Structures are given as C-alpha cells and as structure tokens.
Chains A and B, each alone.
Chain A
Amino acid sequence: MDLIKLSAADLSDAMSKGEVSAVEVAQAHLDRIAAVDDRVHAFLHLEGESAIAHATSVDARRSAGEQLGALAGVPLALKDNLAMRGVPTTCGSKILEGWRPPYDATVVERLRANDVVILGKTNMDEFAMGSSTEHSAYGATRNPWDLERIPGGSGGGSAAAVASFEAPLAIGSDTGGSIRQPAAVTGTVGVKPTYGAVSRYGLVALASSLDQVGPCARTVMDTALLHAAIAGHDHRDSTSINAEVPDVVAAATRADVRGMKIGIVSQLSGDGYQAGVSQRFTEALTHLEHLGAEIVEVSCPSFDYALGAYYLILPSEASSNLARFDGMRFGLRAGDDGRNSVEQVMSLTREAGFGAEVKRRIILGTYALSSGYYDAYYGQAQKVRTLIMRDFTAAFAQADVLVSPTAPTTAFKLGEKLDDPIAMYLNDVATIPVNLAGLGSMSLPAGLAPEDGLPVGFQIMAPPMADDRLYLVGAALEAALHDQWGHLLIEEAPGL
C-alpha cells in the first residue's frame, strides 16, 4: 500500500480499519516531502514533530475506542496566510519573517477539532498577489508536471503539495482564482466556497470582500470532505453566513447531473483560450451531456469588465489591509537606528519588507481610493460588480450551474510572464467573476492539452449557498473521465 498515493477518504478508511496508523501515514508524507520538496518547494515551514505528536494522539484515541471524525489522522498542508498559534506565518513575505501568531485561525481550530494532521505551511505569492507563486519572497514553487513551469498562484504551494503527493489535502485561499487556477495547472481539484461559507478569521486579508478559504485535494470527494470540515458559521467573522452548509459530501456521493441545465458562459471561452484547453473543455461538456445534463449557452456581457473592476477593488482593499505591516508591533522593522522618525521607520520597513508586486498593488489601490479619484475608480468598479451579479442572476435563471475553462492556458514557464503584469493578470480572467459576485466555484481536471501534455482545468460555478451543485457536477464529470482514463489524471504526472 503506497500511502502517499491514497486519497484522504481511502486513508481514513484504512486507518479506521486499523490497517495503518496515523503516525505511519504522517511519516510517509513527511518522508515524501523530504524526498521531493527540495525540487518542488511547496512548503515554507514544516511542523513534523507536532504532526507526529498529533497523529500519535489520534492513534491512541482511536485504539481507546473513541469515535473520530471522517478526516481524523489525514495529513494536510496549510497555506501560509492562515494564522496558526506559535507557527511561522509569513504570507510569502519578508515583512512577516519570524512572526508567530498568538492565535489560531478558525479554519485551523476546525481542522484540529476534526483531527486533521497539519504537516506545515505552504508557499504562496506574497500576500496572495500573483498567479504563479513566483512572487513569493522565499522563491518559486515548481509544478510537479514540469519543474520548469509554474504551479499557478497564489496558492501554488498548496496545489503542488497535493499534486506531488506530499499531502492528500491542502487549504488554500481564493481572492480571484488562487485555489482554482493552481488546481487547473497541477491537475488537482480546488474549490472556492460561497463567500462567507468558510470563516476568514485568521486568514491574513488580501481583499476582504473577495477572499475565501477553501479546500484542495486530488479527488472531488476528498475536497468535499475537507469542505464540510471547515465550513459553517463563525461569530468572529461578521461576513460569515449563518445558515446550514449544503451537504457537499452527499452531493459528491450522488454525482448525478441528470436533468440539470449546464450553462456555458460565452464570454469565458473562444479568443484568448489555448486550443487544447478549449478542446478538453468541449469534451467534458460532451461527457456531461451523455450523463443526462442539458447544455445551454448563456451570456454575461458585464464579465468583459470583471478584470478591470477586480484590479481596482483588490488593490484598494489591499492597500488598506496591508497598512498594518508598519514595523511597529510585529514582523520586520527596518531603519530603527535611534535617529529615524517613526514615519521613516515605517517607510523603510515597508520598502524593505514588501516585494515589487505588493508595492505595485498598494500604490494602485492608494491611488484608486484617493479623494477626487474614488468615484471614477473604486466607485465605478463597485458598479461593475453589481452588474456582474445581475448577469449571474440572469444566467442562473437559465442554468443550474455555469461552466468555463478555469484558466486560458496550461502552466506557463517560470519567468515567462514575470515582467508583464497584465499578461499575468489575464490568467485569472475566468476565475475572477465569481469572486466579485461572492459565488462558489470548483476547478477539476479535464485532461491534458494535446499540444503540451499539461493539465487543463474545468470550472463549475454555482448560485450563492448552492455549493453542493459544484460537487454534483464535479463528481459526475470526474467519474466519467475516470472511466475514460482508467485512473486519476494525476497518475499521468511524471515521477519526481
């Protein structure tokens, strides 16, 4: 039994049957990390000792006959923008080097309560700003499919950890596609739940009105199990939804699209999409049709302005959210030589601690919020946001879910788009609309693009609080593709 190749569901099953211990499972994954992570660089920080300690406690309680959760003893990789008590949390930035939060994010608390074993913290673009993980101050993460290519971003570390069998599960955060685009380019599954479905308390904010924590895994069912473990109301997050979480595990089990209307968004296909991406997307639609779904086409004309609105709202909120990194209370402090004024120390700290992309967005956001420009930029962007929500409402009147390719291309080469921010931003053109509207969305593998042999992502979008539909459709498509390939797509990745 190759433990690292098993899904979370299978690991859980094996552990509950006593075929394998949580310690053995944790150790197998730590060994895998030791073997491959110098090449993949998915992790920024490992918590090997505490992971083994936690696994030991899970084993002890299991043998004592205690009833444990569905994911008890399953290892997980945590994105480095989630606070975990006493464990370094850098957000991929030098400005937070050495900072150890004195508290746990709500998501971390829930993972612990479910006895999920946290292996460590994963790499990311600095403060989640980027689509390639190249903007991490601690070096890029590499795509297990091709180490010369990007694993997507900002959550490239979490996706690469899952894709390289370093962990069966990972937590990501998605502000404009940071869970889904990395899932797409690494051949894994990632879900951005409905805004407010998972608590943001303890997630270091990039853009508060767009950020959402979500699950990453290699199968739709594993993603559902993790989704169910972390979702639910939290009184510490005012924007958290106080309603019952849709039963995503049941939906993933049902995997049934019969009678469903699936809408293709005409604005999210065609020009600008790589040929192989479009091809696999269309094939997936054929599968869904064969499974009993009706494919319709819908138009969301305001989506053409989504990217522009996003790159005003995100930097505006980020410029304010990132103000607190001033060297006064935590993290890096530069220029404190007894002569510099407090303003100079703040300025020098931010100059030294933030990378170029972060500075670019802070400057953009500061400008967009400035008196005299606010209405023209931030104000207009909010109006676009309203129009996008209306487009979604109209589209969901015609279809139960909407679909598109997750990203316009497969994984590009490291460095390829580093000097061209606009080209980098265009990666998120299909993932951004749901963030602006606060909806849930999933990316799952649709196959390999014939021209480069790299994974293609298929995106499903659902109405608010109907995240279960993502799993109904995702699990059905996954099963159909599995029948076609005879295995999970990730099995085709070259060995590391």
Chain B
Amino acid sequence: MSTNHETIAFDEALKTFEPVLGLEVHVELGTRSKMFCGCSTVFGADPNTQVCPVCLGLPGSMPVVNRTAIESTIRIGLALNCTIASWCRFARKNYFYPDMPKDYQISQYDEPLCSNGYLDVTVETEDGPEVVRVEIERVHMEEDTGKLLHTGGATGRIHGADYSLVDYNRAGIPLVEIVTKTIEGTGHLAPAVAKAYVAELRDLMRALDVSDVRMEEGSMRCDVNLSLNRPGDGWGTRSETKNVNSLRSVERAVHSESERQAALLSSGGRIVQETRHFHEDTGRSTSGRSKEQAEDYRYFPEPDLVPVAPSEAWIEELRATMPELPSDKRDRLKAEWGINGFELQTIVNAGALELVEATINAGVDSAAARKWWTGELQRSANESGVELADLNVTPDHVKQVEALIANGALNDKLARQVFEALIAREGTVEEIIAERGLAVVSDDGALLVAIDEALASQPDVAEKIKDGKIQAAGAIVGAVMKATKGQADAAKVRTLLLERLGVSE
C-alpha cells in the first residue's frame, strides 16, 4: 500500500488541470425480500439468519427475479429520464471471493434495464445557483454480496487476518447501480457537482420510496472515478475511489483526489489506474488493488433467468403513478412558502425539507417551521452527529411548542430548552415543561417585584430612563430576565418598567 501525502492545493491544481468525473452510485432497494429469493432484507439481524439455499448459492438452487425490484428500477429509470429497455437480460459476473456465495454475481452487463438519461442538479456559485446537467449512462440491477469480518492481523483486511467470518444476510439484497457518463467542464465546481448529484439522487430515491438511502448503513454507496488532464489534452488515467459513504465525503474525495493527482502529474509522475479506499477520518484515500491488468469477469447472459421484458403498458402504468420529483417539489414549495432558492437550499442542505414540510402541513407558520429546523435543531443534530430525522423531535413537537409560544406560555428561549429536553428524551412537551418548571412568568406582581429590585440595584440607569433615555431600559429588562431565569416575556417586562417609571415611548 502506497500513501502519497504530496498534494497541490485544490485551487492551484485547477489552474493547470481540468477534472473529469464519473460517479457510480449503488442503491440498496427497499424491497421486503431479496433480489432472487424470499429471504427478508431487514437490516441488523443476527448473522446468517436471513438466508436460504438460493442466497447461500447452494448446489441446485436457482434464482427467481423479484418483480418489485424490477418495478423500482424502472421507476428510477423514468425519474432519471432514461430509456427503458423493452427486453434485457441478467448476466453473470464471474470472480472468486468468499463473500459471494456462487462465486459469480448476478448483474447486468451490456443490456441494462435503463439507459441514456440525465439528472439536473443545482450548485451554489459566487454568481448564485447554477444548474448542471449530469448525464446518466445506465441504471442496472444486481445482487449484493455478503459481508466479511476479518479478525486479527494488522490491516483489518483478509490478508493477515487470523480468521474471517462471513455474514450472508446481505447476500442477494437487490441493488441498482446508477452510472453517469463522464462529467466534464465543471472545473472548480467538480466537488460541489459530485456532492449535489449524490444528494439529488438521494432525494430522488426517497421521493420514489424505493430505498431508505442511508449512506451510513451502506444502503447508498458511491464510487468516484476521477482523472485530470491539461486543457486541450485527451483524458488522463483515472482512479476509482471506493468507500465514499457520506455526502461530505463525496465532495472531499473529489477534492483530495484532484490534489493528489495534480501533485503527481506536476512532478512528472504517472497516475496508476487503480482502486483507492477513502478514509472518512483523514479525508484522504489510500491505494487499493491495481487495475492495470484489468480483471476479466467473463460476463455472459445468466442462463438460469428468463429475460426481463417489461411491457409498454406496464411502463406507462408506472410512469402514470410517478410521485412528484424533488426538483418539481422544490419549485412548488418556493412558491407556496414564499421563499427564494437560497432559502430553500438552506433547508435542503440541512436535510430538513420533509420535516419542514410536515411541520407546515401541521399548521405551523412557514417562517417558524424553517427557523426551528434549520436553526436550533440542525445545530443540535450537527453537534451530536446524527441526521435531523433521528433527533427525537417531530413536526408535531414543533407544532406544540409553537402553539405554546403563540399563547404566551413559552418564549423562544424556553422553547429551546424544551427541544433540548426532547432530544435528551426527557419526556413529552408537557412533562418537560412541568418537570423543568418552564413557563413564562406572566404574573405582573412577580415581575414588578423583580423590576423594583433591578431599579434599586441600578439607580443610575433608572435616572437615565426617567430622563428620556429609553434605550437604557435594555439593561433593566436584561436584569429582570436574568432574575427570572428567562421565564419572563421580555416585551411585557419592558412595558411594565416604562409604566413604573411613568415614561412613555
């Protein structure tokens, strides 16, 4: 394994070289059963409990295609503006590896189910949002492999391990592979385009409801192909970076691989065609297996399966039931919520679109819904490193809190504490308010006592206010808020204070 730490800063690299990208995204379909047998696909079961003769590749067993998987793939193809093949076959990809029960993978080769489409993605530039069309080469179906666990040895790899265990629960889970054509001419936007493309694909899969697209669980995985060339030259040699398992990593992988290749090329070096492994912790990749001697997978049509020949009627039926796609939805929401593209992008980037939408649909004001999800709640999610949706705060919670703010029972500061407690799973909104004693102090008497105390301790400020310097009132209001631990309504304190001093605004 060679690790090259020599790099050239990205901006510098882009002055000399033009990046050419190609992205291969694997999506695990959310079908209830596997691609070629009836075994469950539920994630996280005990090892080798969701297996049968078919997905274990036992002698004599035979695959049968999952119709829902075909349907999902066609829907993905339609959403990506692809041509749907009227007739295509599965193919066997032959290679020996212990995570693959049959020592061949049932995949598609020269006859993909969907081909020649595109996906428009939006990236932010200095001049505002820019739409980039990413062309899709193909969308095809295949089966996933089992999972290897290597114990002992230095590298956590199969070589050098004391022993290795295989879990075949994942073997046979349906995958679609979505392959782009080469993405050229994006220049310094390349990392952003790559990230935006994968993010858009993820949203598309969610909208189609074909996958749970959880990158951290591996239900969506991205391989980044990248080469650099000097403007006017032909394409350079590409590397393929695997194990890129988050949106941020997609961006970082393009960034760092550009830097690495630029340094090598600038110093007269040569890019080796190879597979590289991305490391989430360092943001860099290390060399994997060389592909200089291209592996020969001896593809041939899978003779155990009849061809897939979706009828025109079936395709049209699926087309007619396509859900609203993310880009159309964004246009609609901008209009409905009265926000611009940048504001919407903020919500999308926070992964909050569905949550904000649900909150607004629950009756919360658009501005308030956006404020909570992209503000306080997103901050909490980032801090604890979880997805917004996994925060234990629901649109209904936001609705309850907003209703309490509207009737004066809570203020923003107290509301933040409610959310904090919800995230800490302290109970329901009502329980939290009761338990923590969170309620706006609306008793005038109590507030007047606090105001008098504050005035007494700051007589000079009191004089200034009486003299008409009303802006000085902030200091007293602040003291009252502090004394009531934020449980007072600041506007009300201010009104009471001015009345007390006989001053009008």
Contact = CB atoms under 8 A, between A and B. Distances in A.
Interface of A: 81-83, 89, 91, 96, 99, 101-103, 105, 200-205, 207-209, 235-239, 316-317, 319-320, 323-326, 328-330, 341-343, 346, 366, 369-371, 374, 378
Interface string B36-72: 0000000000000000010011111111110000000
B102 A208 contact: no
Nearest to A345: B98
- Secondary structure dominating the interface of A: loop
A329 B298 contact: no
B487 to A, nearest CB: 66
Contacts, number: 106
Contacts of B92: 320
Nearest to B307: A238
Interface string B91-105: 010101010011110
B141 to A, nearest CB: 14
Contacts of A101: 53, 58-60
B300 interface: yes
A201 B62 contact: yes
Contacts of A374: 298-300
Contacts of A201: 60-62
Interface string B281-298: 000000000000010101
Contact of A208 (B53, B64, B304): B304
B371 interface: no
Contact of B298 (A89, A209, A366): A366
A335 B166 CA distance: 19
Nearest to A330: B58
A205 to B, nearest CB: 7
Contacts of B296: 370-371
A237 B298 CA distance: 24
Contacts of B96: 323, 326, 343, 346
B300 to A, nearest CB: 6
Nearest to A81: B60
Given A238-B306, A239-B304, A341-B159, A102 B53 contact: yes
B49 to A, nearest CB: 14
B64 A202 contact: no
Contacts of A366: 298
A10 B361 CA distance: 77
Contact of A329 (B60, B101, B305): B101
Nearest to A239: B306
Contacts of A205: 59-60, 304
B189 interface: no
Given A324-B102, A341-B159, A202 B60 contact: yes
A34 B103 CA distance: 41
A330 B98 CA distance: 12
A316 B94 CA distance: 11
Given A330-B58, A366-B298, A320 B63 contact: no
Closest 3 CB pairs of A and B: A323-B103, A208-B303, A369-B298
B85 interface: no
Contacts of B303: 207-209, 239, 317
A38 to B, nearest CB: 29
B304 A82 contact: no
B474 to A, nearest CB: 73
A200 B164 contact: no
Contact of B57 (A105, A324, A378): A324
Contacts of A317: 300, 303
Given A83-B59, A204-B60, A374-B300, A328 B98 contact: yes
Contacts of A371: 294, 296, 298
A203 B104 CA distance: 18
B172 to A, nearest CB: 14
Q: Which of A81, A82, A203, A326: most chain B CB closer than 10 A?
A: A326
A320 B94 contact: yes
Contacts of A83: 53, 58-60
Contacts of B294: 371
A320 B60 contact: no
A238 B62 CA distance: 8
A487 B408 CA distance: 106
A332 to B, nearest CB: 13
B298 A370 contact: yes
23 contacts: A89-B59, A99-B59, A101-B59, A101-B60, A201-B62, A202-B60, A202-B61, A204-B59, A207-B303, A235-B64, A237-B64, A238-B64, A239-B303, A319-B298, A320-B92, A324-B57, A324-B59, A326-B98, A329-B56, A329-B101, A330-B59, A341-B158, A374-B298
A330 B53 CA distance: 12
A378 to B, nearest CB: 6
A102 B158 contact: no
A200 B103 CA distance: 20
A200 B63 CA distance: 11
Nearest to B162: A338
A316 B305 contact: no
Contact of A342 (B60, B63, B158): B158
Given A202-B61, A323-B96, 18 more contacts: A83-B59, A89-B60, A105-B60, A200-B62, A201-B62, A204-B59, A205-B60, A209-B303, A238-B64, A238-B304, A239-B305, A320-B298, A325-B59, A330-B59, A342-B164, A343-B96, A369-B94, A374-B298
A158 B158 CA distance: 44
A459 to B, nearest CB: 25
A103 B59 CA distance: 10
Nearest to B90: A238
Contact of A324 (B62, B101, B159, B304): B101
Contacts of B65: 238
Contacts of A237: 62, 64
Contacts of A91: 59
A384 B250 CA distance: 48
A342 B103 CA distance: 13
A343 B60 CA distance: 24
Nearest to A91: B59
A237 B306 CA distance: 10
Nearest to A316: B300
B58 A323 contact: no
B294 to A, nearest CB: 8
Contacts of A236: 62, 64
Interface in B2-58: 53, 56-58
B53 A103 contact: yes
A81 B59 CA distance: 9
Given A103-B53, A238-B305, A369 B300 contact: yes
Contacts of B61: 103, 201-202
A49 to B, nearest CB: 24
A334 to B, nearest CB: 15
Nearest to A347: B96
B304 A102 contact: no
Contact of B104 (A99, A323, A341): A323
A238 B63 contact: yes
Interface in B293-335: 294, 296, 298-300, 303-306
Nearest to B297: A371
Contacts of B98: 326, 328, 342
A343 B305 CA distance: 29
A437 to B, nearest CB: 15
Interface in B89-125: 92, 94, 96, 98, 101-104
Nearest to B92: A320
A200 B64 CA distance: 12
Contacts of B164: 342
Interface in B113-140: none
Contacts of A316: 300
Contacts of A238: 62-65, 304-306
Contacts of B94: 319-320, 323, 369
A82 B298 contact: no
Contacts of B304: 205, 208, 238-239
Contacts of A208: 303-304
A202 B58 CA distance: 9
